[in-house]
Amino acid sequence: MAKCKKLKIRPYARLLTMLGEQLIKNERIALIELIKNAYDADSPWVKISFVGFNDNFRFDSESKIVIEDSGCGMNAEIIEEHWLNPATPEKLRRKAKKNTTPSGRIIQGEKGIGRFAILKLGRKIKVITRAKGENVEHVVDYDFSKYDDDFLSEEGKAKNLFIDDLSVSLQTQNPKIIREYLFPLGARKVKRPPHGTRIEISELKGSWSEKKVEAVYRDIARLESIFSHNIQRTDKDPKESFVVRIYKDERALNYQEQYLEKLHTLLEDRSVIRIENGVYDDKKNEFRFVLNGTSQVLKLREPSLMGLKVFKDHFDKGGKVLDERNTECGPFQFGFYIFDFSPKAPPKFNLDRDDKEIIRDHRIYLYRDGIRVYPYGEPDDDWLRIDAYRGTVAAGHFLSNDQVVGYINISQKENPKLKDKTNREGLIEEGNATADFIALLQVFLAYIRQKPYARYRNDIKDKNEQDVFRSEQVQREFEALKKVVKDNKQALNLISKAEKEYKVERRYLIRRAETTEDLAGVGLSVETASHDIMAIMSKAMAGIDSLIRDSVHDDLDQNELHKELQSLRGMLSFIEAQLKDIQLLFKSSKQRRRNIKVKEVLEKVERIYRRLLKKEGIELVIQGIGSPLLAKTTDAVLLQLLLNLFDNSVYWLQQSSVQAKKIEILLDGDNGQMVFSDNGPGVDKEDAPYIFEPFYSGKGEEGRGLGLYIARQLLERNDYSIELARLKSEKILPGANFVVNFVAEDK
């Protein structure tokens, strides 16, 4: 007969090591956990004292760390039922009823584990506490000095120790420590009320140093928001402040705080792009923010966002994930300040070495209800995986971590699914909430890099070299110089020689630039054709492999063999036709400018794009007006122009939600003009001045920013032009409209 026995879960004592030492990263985080406990206890201040440490904070057996507050304190019942029990649900229950303290603070803790941070700091702990309204204080004594660090031995002897084998003494006494008296707190005299908690930690673990204590000081300074537009201003009423002071024995430690004032100055005066009052609205799936003083709205389904790799990686191509569900992280607020670290930054935004060090000391901070979530914001923490993307995708497509300082505000009420990890190392990554949250921020920052920041970089780009080249300024200066020295034959000869060598060098550099543009254009243009060629090649290779396998048998079916060979010939014929069209792209001494019918080249490009147009459901309409449109140029120029225009239109139509996708091309032979249009999202008015600049792209990581630039360069060599249609009469469809003029411009 089967017997059933009920067993109880009985944790080993080493669980305390896991809770206290292994879940808490370091001594700094341990102190922050104890400070947060004081915050939740409604204490207006916390005093941390390093007692009995030498000048460099080395400690001995008599040294101790004391953490004192004037919070609500604990009575005997709370100590026995909650403080001494890991994972107590007390705070969680309190938060379920009301998630604020009596003074209105949002309760931070809920897991009942943070208190075990004391075990990270030392083996002996004495907790003296007095609850509000009580006339006694309670002393809780932990003495774990007889156990090893992992609770596997007692007094040096191996022993199976369970949590309930560990004893902690509780003594109740008349108030000796938690009583009314005046004491200094920084430059103030504070009256200690008859309630609160004092924790004394001795038999210390780890190591301390001046640098480590200063880091704790900085951590405390950043516990509440350091941003002026964030919650919890640092200049609020001192009565409402949460003040933390650090002492060494009786001496207050006041480390340099000027870096925060300096940071605020840099944020306001030296940031290239300021994004303030930002809000992500999860109901509308949109970002609302103020960019350098101008209000902006950016919808998540904006084509310029949907084209980003970070968008596609998380929300899938076309935002398919958003069709199935809404983002699950909830709404949040944000602000970002972007700096230019380059040595050629304009004087207004130029940063010296000290400025850069201050900025690099900060990252993007996360605050929940005004209190920082660790370790986000640390200089070495890449919680948004920006550096990872820069390393695997392309550095130029993302802002670097060290040039962005910012904040994100979330709350327990609005973001219940964004939960802290038990180990205090950020957010739990389960379900979709945290992944959505991080992806939204990545998408937004990638957009800022590739649009506003890219426009800034283009605006400051040194165009003097281009102006000098186009206006032939150097040549004019040679002529002026010769007039000045016309009576000095020797000087005149030297200038003439320099002028001649300059012209030779100039011609050489022009040829090099044109060759580079040609080669870049070829590389960009053959991509679509290569997809078709490789697809047909794969089918042809599979067919050949099949025939090879069958050829070893004697029972070959001649009819089937003939069909297979005919099919293979058809595939090779297609590849030959595609390669002939592509071959026209390559620069050749045999190519000469001649009158070419634009429609004939257009039909070649249409063949290259036929499969992709069909796959994407894009209708192509070609209309002609008057006589055939002619262009005196080469096939390569027209092919690169049309391939780039097709490539742009197809890309943006792929990102568009319009149902009947269309490309319409008008060939006006009488006026020597072609209008290339689509009904996609069009060109953003802020992007319009930059679309013909090299390396400026709205396509995200997929764009190289060279297509339209090269198209314009090639046309200009033939005295032709390409512009974005500006007049209503020039536009055919509501999306992007490009006007190409094949009438030579006067020079």
Average pLDDT over residues 720-733: 88
Q: With 70 as the cut, is the pLDDT of residue 89 above it? A: no
pLDDT band for 298, please (50, 70, 90 cuts).
Answer: very high
CA distance 578 to 575: 5
Give the per-residue pLDDT at 464: 43
The answer to whether 148 touches 155, Cβ cutoff 8 Å, is no
Q: Write the CA distances from 664 to 299, 674, 678, integer angstroms.
A: 27, 11, 6
> Per CATH, the architecture of 593-741 is what?
2-Layer Sandwich (3.30)
Across-strand partners of 676?
665, 738
Q: With 60 as the cut, is the pLDDT of residue 641 above it? A: yes
Choice between 94 and 423, residue whose per-residue pLDDT is larger:
94
Q: With 60 as the cut, is the pLDDT of residue 702 above it? A: no
Choice between 26 and 334, residue whose per-residue pLDDT is larger:
334
pLDDT tens-place string over residues 453-465: 888 887 776 444 4
pLDDT band for 518, please (50, 70, 90 cuts).
Answer: low
Q: Which of 74, 116, 66, 119 is nearest to 245 (CA)?
A: 66
Choice between 139 and 644, residue whose per-residue pLDDT is larger:
139
Token reading at 552: 């070893």
Give the per-residue pLDDT at 231: 41
Average pLDDT over residues 493-505: 75
Q: Which of 95-99, 197-201, 723-727 has the highest mean pLDDT?
A: 197-201
Identical fold, 14-255 and 593-741: yes
Q: Which of 190, 162, 202 is nearest to 14 (CA)?
A: 162
18-27, 49-58, 540-549 — which is least confidently predicted?
Answer: 18-27
Q: With 90 as the cut, is the pLDDT of residue 178 above it? A: yes
- Mean pLDDT across the chain: 81
Whether residue 689 is preceded by a cis peptide bond, meaning omega within 30 degrees of 0, is: no
Q: With 90 as the cut, is the pLDDT of residue 515 above it? A: no
**Sign of CA pseudo-dihedral 12, 16, 19, 23:** negative
Q: Whole-model pTM above 0.75?
A: no
Q: With 60 as the cut, is the pLDDT of residue 24 above it? A: yes
The values of phi and psi at residue 327, to 5°, are: -60, 145
Give the per-residue pLDDT at 433: 92
pLDDT tens-place string over residues 205-262: 888 998 888 888 888 888 888 885 444 433 344 345 788 899 999 888 887 666 677 8
CA distance 515 to 375: 51
The values of phi and psi at residue 163, to 5°, are: -55, -40
User: How many other CB atoms are found less than 10 A from the CB of residue 132?
Assistant: 14
SS3 content of the chain, % helix, strand, coil (to 5): 40, 20, 35
Average pLDDT over residues 645-649: 87
What length is written for the chain? 747
Block residue for tokens 């697809």: 535
CA distance 281 to 336: 17
Token reading at 18: 């896991």
Token reading at 655: 């990102």
Give the per-residue pLDDT at 392: 64
pLDDT above 90 coverage of the chain, percent: 25
Give the per-residue pLDDT at 630: 92
Average pLDDT over residues 399-424: 85
Give the per-residue pLDDT at 128: 94
Average pLDDT over residues 598-614: 85
Block residue for tokens 């970089």: 457
User: What is the DSSP secondary-structure string of 212-277?
Assistant: HHHHHHHHHHTTB---TTSSS-TTS-GGG--EEEEEETTEEP----HHHHHHHHHHHHT-SEEEEE
Helix (H) or strand (E) holding 619: strand 618-625
Q: Which of 655, 699, 652 is nearest to 315 (CA)?
A: 655
Give the per-residue pLDDT at 90: 66
Give the per-residue pLDDT at 230: 45
Give the per-residue pLDDT at 37: 86
Q: Which of 19-33, 176-190, 593-607, 618-632 has the highest mean pLDDT?
A: 618-632
Q: Write the CA distances from 14 to 147, 163, 517, integer angstroms.
A: 10, 8, 67
Q: Write the CA distances from 471 to 139, 468, 722, 723, 747, integer angstroms.
A: 86, 5, 21, 22, 12
HSE-CB of 646 using CA atoms within 13 angstroms: 31
Q: Which of 201, 195, 193 is nearest to 51 (CA)?
A: 201
HSE-CB of 411 using CA atoms within 13 angstroms: 12
Give the per-residue pLDDT at 336: 95
Do strands 286-291 and 273-281 pair parallel, antiparallel, or not at all (unpaired)?
Answer: antiparallel
pLDDT tens-place string over residues 26-67: 788 888 888 888 888 899 999 999 999 998 899 998 999 999
Residue spans of the domains in the chain: they are: 14-255, 260-460, 464-524, 593-741
Do strands 251-252 and 64-69 pair parallel, antiparallel, or not at all (unpaired)?
Answer: unpaired
Q: Per residue in 167-191, is it b (16+ CB within 10 Å) or e — as a string?
A: eeeeeeeeeebbeeeeeebeeeebe
HSE-CB of 22 using CA atoms within 13 angstroms: 8
| Burial of 530 (C-beta count, 10 Å sphere; 0-12/13-18/19+) | middle
pLDDT band for 520, please (50, 70, 90 cuts).
Answer: low
The answer to whether 417 touches 325, Cβ cutoff 8 Å, is no
Give the per-residue pLDDT at 120: 83
146-150, 199-203, 233-237, 399-403 — which is least confidently predicted?
Answer: 233-237
Block residue for tokens 């009469």: 729
CA 463 to centroid of chain Cα atoms? 30
The answer to whether 485 touches 496, Cβ cutoff 8 Å, is no
Choice between 450 and 591, residue whose per-residue pLDDT is larger:
450
Give the per-residue pLDDT at 65: 94
Token reading at 153: 């031995």
pLDDT tens-place string over residues 351-367: 988 888 889 888 999 99
Average pLDDT over residues 381-395: 74
Average pLDDT over residues 609-618: 86
pLDDT above 70 coverage of the chain, percent: 81
2-11, 350-359, 506-515, 560-569 — which is least confidently predicted?
Answer: 506-515
The values of phi and psi at residue 296, to 5°, are: -135, 150
Q: With 90 as the cut, is the pLDDT of residue 279 above it? A: yes
The CATH code belonging to domain 14-255 is 3.30.565.10
Give the per-residue pLDDT at 578: 63
pLDDT tens-place string over residues 118-158: 888 888 999 999 999 999 999 999 888 888 878 888 888 88
**Sign of CA pseudo-dihedral 351, 353, 356, 362:** negative
Give the per-residue pLDDT at 393: 63
Block residue for tokens 């102190």: 31
Q: With 80 as the cut, is the pLDDT of residue 466 above it? A: no
